[in-house]
Amino acid sequence: MLLNKVLRAGVRRGIRLQSSSTATASATASSSSPATSLGFSFDLTDQQKEFQQLARKFAREEIIPVAPAYDKSGEYPFPIIKKAWELGMVNGHIPQEYGGMGLSSFDTCLITEELAYGCTGMQTAIEANSLGQMPVIIAGSDAQKKKYLGRLTEEPLMCVSILKICLSTVVHVFAPMQVAAGATGLAQRALDEATSYALERKTFGKVIAEHQAVSFLLAEMAMKVELARMAYQRAAWEVDQGRRNTYYASIAKAFAGDIANQVATDAVQVFGGNGFNSEYPVEKLMRDAKIYQIYEGTAQIQRLIIAREHLGRAKK
């Protein structure tokens, strides 16, 4: 128990120091001349790469090995959530002054994608606290923030109720892009599983990846995953710039949700008959993908929002 506390404190202290250094660097950069500003960049910072690698390692070593068992039993994966909390991957949105890491929307979405790669159900359970935290972060008093947010950083608790204050803001600004990041993680997993299988399975004397029909299928899957990633990252970036991101968040959510289903279905196709076998991972990915076209605003609702935003801009 003591070792866990020391480890957790060390990890969080290191992340907070990095966050502070990044904030200082950002402030310095913003005060420099426009000519030296890099603007929009596809490069991740060293800190973001560390977040990404930590979440990626956790997904592959802690989530993937136990996901099938939890899928069958239906048990709540609290042991996994506790491990994620000890590593600082829960409550990332909570500001540093209340014991959290104060991560940006972009940073948290990077983590979301990596966790979803392991299992979207566990990723949702790990990050569900954000829906309960955001109303407090946005509209809570200092005393409320210390009371409720502080408790979440002191022990691995999960939010069991969501305040109604500013809930619409949370749902329409934060949730869609984080859901899009999760859908992208699932799609990346489906692509990776299909690619690995296609490089191993042989027909007519060669691996099926060398058949044009299969290689074209994999190419289409790769195109969709890359574009979905760019969509959610743009939506997250807009928020971090302090701008309204409704248009981009809905595009990200609608597109990523659709391609998660398409890529998972294509992965099953690559696996052939084995795609239906629970001994292979793609049948679960196909089951898990459907929720991304339903919750946090259906695919149809997202299109309604996109059309409204698009036409509103055209009329100005």
The residues annotated with a catalytic role in the active site are 296
Instruction: Give the closest residue to 283 by CA, choosing from 295, 291, 272, 298.
Output: 272
R_g (Cα) of the chain, nearest Å: 20
What separation in angstroms does the CA of 216 have from each of 196, 210, 211, 219? 15, 10, 9, 5
Q: Directed axis angle between helix 105-118 and helix 212-240, to 10°?
A: 150
Encoding tokens for residue 46?
A: 């060293």
Write the DSSP string, 197-218.
HHTT-EETTEEGGGSHHHHHHH
Distance CA 239, CA 108 (A): 12
On whether the CB atoms of residues 256 and 228 are closer than 8 A, the answer is: yes
Distance CA 18, CA 7 (A): 17
Distance CA 242, CA 169 (A): 14
